[in-house]
Amino acid sequence: MSSTSSRQINLKTQIEKLKRQDMFFWFVGLITLAFALLTLLSLIADMAMTGWPRISQSFFFSFPSRFPDKAGIYSAWVGSFCVVLVTSLMAIPLGIASGVYLEEYAKKNIWTKLIELNILNLAGIPSITYGLMALGFFVYRMHLGQSILTAGMTLGLLVLPIIIVTTREAIRTIPSHIREASYSLGATKWQTIHNHILPYSSGGIMTGVVIALSRAIGETAPLITVGALTFIAFLPSSPMDPYTVLPIQMFNWVSRPQEEFHINAAAAGLVLLTMTLFLNGTAIYIRYLFRKKYKW
């Protein structure tokens, strides 16, 4: 009797101690989060307030200019769009195919392991390295020049690992009993991939694709290396044309001494940020849709 009650008391003090620990970590977590969020929000708010007055139709449809109030982002957003289009055409099919190959076809041996390890490492390489490699390979070796094609393929290489890794992860979430159901009905490997694996993982794959593209849109360093120009007063008419992109236009304006150009930079930044947020929102929505659609 007495031993039971003393054990209960012990348990109580133990639980209180744990609860205090809980509170402490909750508090520390909250402070850290608040600090990070506030910093980010104040940066965004500052940029938004500076740039907002400059946002107008003419800002979107004017070429860069010596006069800050006449300068716009026409060539920049069209350039960004064209570059990301090339990136998509290259990285999406290649990335998905590589992911499917590694997950479904590749024999699990030392070579596959090595390739997997390499892809993971590629995802962590500083982006300027891709720029240097692309300068040597696309510009000097393949003579593609300082073109949209070069830029798109450079960014394509940059985001390829992201697409490969998310494709594999999406495929891996499909339970083996679903595959086995397909095979047990006499389906071939390709039928199983085509009819089940790809459709059921398409939510995850598309999420990865959108995240990869939003990364590509904001990337600057590798494009400076392969020669994006900062002053383009015409629209490209072929993939071999020179180009500029939003972040580079922004970078160019920031480095001007005149205050008015800084306002332009903030406005361009606002556009870029909105695009990226929109893309990431799309990714979250796609994931939500497919979560609802495919459950097992």
Partner 1 sequence: MVKKAEVVNLNFSYTDKRILNGVSLPIYENRITALIGPSGCGKTTLLRCFNRMHDLYGAIQYDGKINLFPDELNILSDEIDPIEVRMKIGMVFQKPNPFPKSIYENIAYGLRVRGVKKKSFIDEKIEDSLKKASLWNEVSDRLNSSATSLSGGQQQRLCIARALATEPDILLLDEPTSALDPISTAHIEELVTELKKSVTIVMVTHNLHQAARTADYTSFMYLGEMIEFGESSQIFTNPKEQKTENYITGRFG
Could you list the residues that contact partner 1 (CB under 8 A)? 107, 175, 177-188, 191, 195-196, 200, 293-296
Shortest Cβ 289–partner 1 spacing (Å)? 13
Residue 197, judged by CB atoms within 10 A of its CB (0-12, 13-18, 19+), counts as buried
Q: Would you mind telling me the total number of residues written for the chain in this entry?
A: 296
Is residue 95 within 8 A of residue 212, CB to CB? The reply is yes
Which residue, 196 or 262, is less far from partner 1 as judged by CB?
Answer: 196
Shortest Cβ 185–partner 1 spacing (Å)? 4
Q: Is the dihedral of CA 78, 80, 83, 87 positive or negative?
A: negative
Which residue, 102 or 211, is less far from partner 1 as judged by CB?
Answer: 102
Which residue, 81 or 294, is less far from partner 1 as judged by CB?
Answer: 294
Which residue, 116 or 241, is less far from partner 1 as judged by CB?
Answer: 116
Q: What is the DSSP string of 190-246?
A: HHHIIIIIHHHHHHHHHHHHHHHHHHHHH--HHHHHTT--S---S---STTS----H
Is residue 170 within 8 A of residue 205, CB to CB? The reply is yes
Is residue 176 within 8 A of residue 142, CB to CB? The reply is no
Shortest Cβ 175–partner 1 spacing (Å)? 8
In the block, tokens 């240097």 appear at: 132
Which residue, 65 or 173, is less far from partner 1 as judged by CB?
Answer: 173
Shortest Cβ 290–partner 1 spacing (Å)? 10
CB within 8 Å of 247: residues ≥ 6 apart? 217, 218, 219, 220, 223, 272
Shortest Cβ 204–partner 1 spacing (Å)? 14
Is residue 69 within 8 A of residue 260, CB to CB? The reply is yes
Shortest Cβ 207–partner 1 spacing (Å)? 18
Shortest Cβ 92–partner 1 spacing (Å)? 24
Which residue, 56 or 195, is less far from partner 1 as judged by CB?
Answer: 195
Which residue, 178 or 229, is less far from partner 1 as judged by CB?
Answer: 178
The whole-angstrom separation of Cα 128 and Cα 106 is 31
| N-to-C CA span, the chain | 51
